[in-house]
Amino acid sequence: MSKIIAGGSHNSIPWQDKPEGYKYPVWRYDGNPIITRDNLFMANSIFNSAVVAFGKGFAGVFRVDLRTRDQVIVTGFSDDGINWKLNEKVIFEGYDPRICKIDDKYYLSWVKLTPKGTVIGIAYTRDFESWTELEEACYPVARNGVLFPRKINDEYMLLLRPCDRGHTPYGDIFIQRSKDLEYWGKYRFVMSPVKNWEMTKIGAGPTPIETDEGWLLFYHGVITSCNGFTYSMGAAILDRDEPWKVLYRADSYLLAPHEPYEVSGDVPNVVFPCAALLEEESGKIAIYYGAADTSVGLAFTTVDETVKYIKEHNLT
């Protein structure tokens, strides 16, 4: 049995048992999508968004593309992780937020827009009301900045995907380290696309999950077909002390756009995981993902099922 070591929620996370006879390790919530444009006035779409256990329930940071098509981030709260109330107040401009609790603060990392291209913005809050922005974590151009939920050997760690300004194939995951979340360095390469389903580019997804086997990392991978891009979700296990070392990695995706709300929307064929809620005792994991750049979907797995799948389908 694989175990989640830390980062569990004190509250019950959203959950549905795996449908009878379903053979794969990740299954969808049958009420998907859980968040749509109807959750917020003036939203064109609400998608790649991240949530975390907070107080007696959950809090989140949501990517909203407005009816002006400006890309902004707002906060939201939920008692059960499924029904969300979003706030109209914009906390930052940009997109694809992740949220990560380290000690007593919640750190937001997101794709911040600058005149020279996108960078990874970092800000923190204690209450989801007031935010303190820190130095940008890199120079342009990068996306998919994902913090680890604790320091490792006294250093904060950030996964990121250096890229260029467009949607061109330039997509490896790197890691960089910092003692103070201000100066970053000691870069290491983590992984490149390998299999067809992820061949165009890859990018880290939710905050890595600490397990007894290593850091469980869900990530997205993109394949280019004659019809455009398809974004799916894969998984790897990184070394607990030196997380740039990949111990295992599934050769195949764990979730891909198959349902109507994933294959059709503003950008068809996108499954883009940004957050996971955990239960340490049971090993349950609830994954939040953007669907077709239009809405938010929820999927479930357990640490045991996912780790087993990764090992049985390990990339060789």
For ligand BMA, the binding residues (CB under 6 A) are 48, 95-96, 167, 231, 267, 270, 272, 290, 293
Contacts of residue 166, defined as CB under 8 A and 6 or more positions apart, other chains included, come to none
- Residue 132, both tokens: 């303190």
Q: Which is it for strands 214-225 and 228-238: parallel, antiparallel or unpaired?
A: antiparallel
SS3 state of residue 149: coil
Q: Measuring CA to CA, which residue among 15, 8, 2 is closest to residue 287?
A: 15
For ligand BMA, the closer of residues 62 and 248 by Cβ is 62
Q: What is the closest distance, in whole angstroms, from the C-beta atom of residue 23 to ligand BMA in the complex?
A: 28
* CB-based contact 156:149 (threshold 8 Å): no
Q: Quick one: 28 or 220, whose CB is closer to ligand BMA?
A: 220
Q: How many CB atoms lie within 10 A of CB 126?
A: 11
Nearer to ligand BMA, 121 or 214 (CB): 121
**Number of CB atoms found within 10 A of residue 84's CB:** 22
Q: Give 293 or 305: the residue with its C-beta nearer to ligand BMA.
A: 293
Least Å distance between CB 108 and ligand BMA?
Answer: 16
Q: How far is the CB of 261 from ligand BMA (least distance, A)?
A: 14
Q: How far is the CB of 270 from ligand BMA (least distance, A)?
A: 5
Closer to ligand BMA at the Cβ: 96 or 304? Answer: 96
Is 101 within 8 Å of 149 (Cβ atoms)?
yes
Nearest distance in Å: CB 315, ligand BMA: 23
Alpha-helix runs per DSSP H in 51-128: none
**Separation of alpha carbons 178 and 267, rounded Å:** 35
Q: Which is nearer to ligand BMA, 41 or 170 (CB)?
A: 170
CB closest to ligand BMA, residue no: 267
Q: Which of 291, 238, 302 minimizes the C-alpha distance to 269?
A: 291
Residue 66 pairs in a beta bridge with 43
Structure tokens at 244: 């740039």
User: Which of 215, 272 has the CB closer to ligand BMA?
Assistant: 272
46 or 307: CB nearest ligand BMA: 46
- Give Cα 230 distance to the centre of its chain: 17
Minimum CB separation from ligand BMA for residue 202, in Å? 12
CB of 112 to ligand BMA, least distance (A): 13
Give the Cα separation of 204 and 252 in Å (integer): 16
Closest approach of ligand BMA to the CB of residue 172, in Å? 15
The amino acid sitting at 78 is S
Q: What is the largest CA-CA distance in the chain?
A: 51
